[in-house]
Structure 1
């Protein structure tokens, strides 16, 4: 495994289960970590305060970037509260929680900020193993965008995706291995309806999170 202990990283950070797990992974992997959070017109501003608090717990610097232009681009239920949120993925389509272009823009913004600080490592919590079918969570997309931002900025960025091939059960196990299981369980906000920890229980994000948590707890109890 490559040693990055003498290098810094920017972590794309929302305060949710996945990005929080990645934040603590990055703390163990890099010399210095900056948490980059985005305000993009999401339904719940509480997400930002949760992210700020977790960054404080992690003792990393926190930066909030205004990316509200995203809410003006395509209608979706995460930035338009008048749209009733899909609780299940429609057949042959993406759920209306999909925000077109979001991850592409977030990573591009992060790369531009990292460029100014001479940082080449970007960390994001996307995963194609256990998600709602979003195309911008796929490994092929990350590799493609990595090549694009490298060409656009003439810099050798490395986009790290520690969770890419982990389902939610394995993400919980990973958080436990990192020693931050309780922080991820109790302090994060993954729920699309803006409720911390176990959340509302019925939005797509809560279903994935809680199903994975229960399965991991079952596995852990059997191994004791």
Structure 2
């Protein structure tokens, strides 16, 4: 396996785009994989494609539409309301999504001889999603390696960062403006700052405001 080759699980959103820039800085050769699973904001597929073209990164698109059939939720059904109630998983949780995405990404990685898998999951701002936890990633890394008799390494550069920290990382990677203007995080499919009302937009905006405040404070010292 090529120790300098990586594949990034890529949606075209803030987190995965930051991870893509991180991987481009860390590895000699990077490719990206995006999954079509009937997501609510299908525009993310075109955004992901455009970003990869701009960065000259090979882009793979895999059909995972079975996930839509098995796990109806607010990300795959426009008739399901986006809700976040205390003590409950958000209606945007797609059971098994990261399990399937990373498993298929590993299969693809084997085909292109890549040792490293990069994903933007985060336990700090993870909305309670169980498949964004560090313990899950570590467990899956072991399982994938046992299942395929390989030595893949799963990287989670955002695992312990809040959204302000993700913005800071993008700034350190000289990608702050690019991520701010060219990514799609909004549940309603609006690029950049988004609709401003959905949970994803609010999380992104709050993190941005926190980071910009911190940056101004540091610059003023």
Counterpart residue number, 1:50: 47
1:113 matched to 2:108? The reply is yes
What is the DSSP-based 3-state SS (H/G/I as helix, E as strand, rest coil) of the residue aligned with 2:114?
Answer: coil
50-59 vs 148-157, greater mean Cα deviation? 50-59
1:203 matched to 2:205? The reply is no
- The structural deviation recorded for 1:58 is 1.5
- The structural deviation recorded for 1:145 is 0.5
- The structural deviation recorded for 1:6 is 5.7
Aligned residues: 218
Runs of 4+ in 1 over 2 A off after TM superposition: none
- The structural deviation recorded for 1:93 is 1.1
1:11 matched to 2:8? The reply is yes
1:6–1:91 CA distance, 2 compared to 1 (3 A): closer
State whether residues 3 and 116 of structure 2, in contact with CA within 8 Å, keep that contact through their aligned partners in structure 1.
no
The two structures have a TM-score, normalised by structure 2, of 0.96
Q: Deviations over 1:39-89 (max 9, x none)?
A: 110012210110111111222111111111110112200001111111xx2
Q: For residues 167 and 44 of structure 1, what CA distance do their matches in structure 2 show? A: 23
Of the three residues 82, 86, 89, the one matched with 1:85 is 82
Q: Deviations over 1:140-181 (max 9, x none)?
A: 000010011001100011000000001000100000000000
Counterpart residue number, 2:166: 171
State whether residues 18 and 171 of structure 1, in contact with CA within 8 Å, keep that contact through their aligned partners in structure 2.
yes
What is the DSSP-based 3-state SS (H/G/I as helix, E as strand, rest coil) of the residue aligned with 1:7?
Answer: strand
The two structures have a TM-score, normalised by structure 1, of 0.95
State whether residues 6 and 31 of structure 1, in contact with CA within 8 Å, keep that contact through their aligned partners in structure 2.
no
1:131 matched to 2:111? The reply is no
Q: For residues 45 and 187 of structure 1, what CA distance do their matches in structure 2 show? A: 16
- The structural deviation recorded for 1:133 is 1.0
Q: Which runs of 5+ in 1 are unaligned?
A: none
Q: For residues 56 and 116 of structure 1, what CA distance do their matches in structure 2 show? A: 21
State whether residues 3 and 114 of structure 2, in contact with CA within 8 Å, keep that contact through their aligned partners in structure 1.
no
- The structural deviation recorded for 1:205 is 0.9
Q: For residues 55 and 175 of structure 2, what CA distance do their matches in structure 1 show? A: 10
State whether residues 132 and 204 of structure 1, in contact with CA within 8 Å, keep that contact through their aligned partners in structure 2.
no
* Backbone CA RMSD of aligned residues: 1.1
What is the DSSP-based 3-state SS (H/G/I as helix, E as strand, rest coil) of the residue aligned with 2:33?
Answer: strand
Q: Which runs of 5+ in 2 are unaligned?
A: none
Of the three residues 4, 9, 29, the one matched with 2:26 is 29
1:186 matched to 2:181? The reply is yes
Q: For residues 131 and 55 of structure 1, what CA distance do their matches in structure 2 show? A: 25
